[in-house]
């Protein structure tokens, strides 16, 4: 059995395996979404994402363009924030933020009788117009994004991939419908699957595309 030690070799071999398995499954990914889907499968080892990741027209291209303008990413979990490529963001002049630990967000959530995730997205709509919103945990965050969009907020891209059993499927479908109707770019994992790692993987696929870092060697990996 061939042994791979260097990170670049491991990633390249993993991506090759993913490509071969998709071919055996007779799944042919559109070129414009391939990097995102493959990155999510690489992160999760779950090929269901080849079918359940849904993209509005031009979502990847618009997300990449937004990052190249230095558009910030706002996420609903510190796990996603920690998983997003810091070197890639630095190259783009962008940043990633999570408001969940902010005492002001906790206070606002208590006053409104909602979740901190929802309060975080309300704050993002006020302070970061045009931001990329990456939601990997809380369906209430998606519902708040929809509410803010109805009030005129237009994010640069919404990544809606929360995981779970309660209101998750419905919130994702509502978000996708609203984004299609209002022509807001979106990447959504339909169904129950998702998570903070998936949100981070999608962000990284976009960042690596924007910085020409899809090849791990270009990220400085040996």
Catalytic residue (one of 42, 91, 147, 192) = 42
Over the stretch 97-152, which tens digit does the pLDDT of each residue have? 999 999 999 999 999 899 999 999 999 999 999 999 999 999 999 999 999 999 99
42 as an active site residue: the answer is yes
Least Cα distance to 189 among 198, 181, 200, 180 occurs for: 198
Instruction: Find out whether 106 and 116 touch, Cβ atoms under 8 Å.
Output: yes
The yes-or-no verdict on residue 217 having pLDDT over 90 is no
What is the sign, positive or negative, of the torsion defined by CA atoms of 81, 168, 186, 108? negative
Strands 132-135 and 73-75: parallel
Over the stretch 168-195, which tens digit does the pLDDT of each residue have? 999 999 999 999 999 999 999 999 999 9
Determine which helix (DSSP H) or strand (DSSP E) holds 188, and give its type and residue range.
strand 186-189
The yes-or-no verdict on residue 5 having pLDDT over 80 is no
Q: Which two tokens stand for residue 119?
A: 């309060």
All structural domains of the chain: 51-211 (3.40.50.10230)
Quick count: other Cβ atoms within 10 Å of Cβ 123? 18
pTM to 2 decimal places? 0.95
């Amino acid at each position: 059995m061939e042994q791979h030690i260097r990170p670049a070799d491991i990633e390249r071999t993993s991506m090759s395996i993913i490509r071969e398995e998709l071919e055996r499954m007779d799944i042919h990914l559109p070129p414009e979404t391939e990097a995102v889907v493959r990155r999510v499968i690489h992160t999760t080892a779950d090929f269901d994402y080849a079918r359940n990741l849904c993209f509005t027209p031009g979502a990847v291209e618009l997300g990449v363009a937004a990052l190249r303008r230095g558009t910030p990413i706002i996420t609903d979990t510190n796990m996603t924030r920690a998983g997003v490529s810091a070197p890639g963001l630095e190259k783009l002049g962008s940043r990633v933020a999570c408001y969940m630990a902010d005492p002001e967000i906790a206070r606002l959530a208590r006053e409104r009788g909602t979740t901190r995730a929802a309060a975080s997205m309300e704050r993002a709509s006020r302070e970061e117009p045009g931001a990329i919103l990456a939601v990997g945990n809380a369906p209430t965050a998606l519902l708040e994004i929809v509410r803010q969009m109805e009030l005129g907020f237009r994010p640069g891209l919404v990544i809606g991939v929360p995981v779970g059993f309660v209101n998750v499927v419905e919130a994702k479908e509502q978000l996708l419908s609203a984004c299609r109707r209002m022509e807001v770019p979106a990447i959504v994992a339909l169904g129950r699957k998702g998570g903070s790692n998936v949100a981070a993987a999608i962000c990284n696929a976009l960042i690596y595309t924007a910085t020409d870092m899809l090849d791990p060697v270009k990220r400085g990996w040996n």
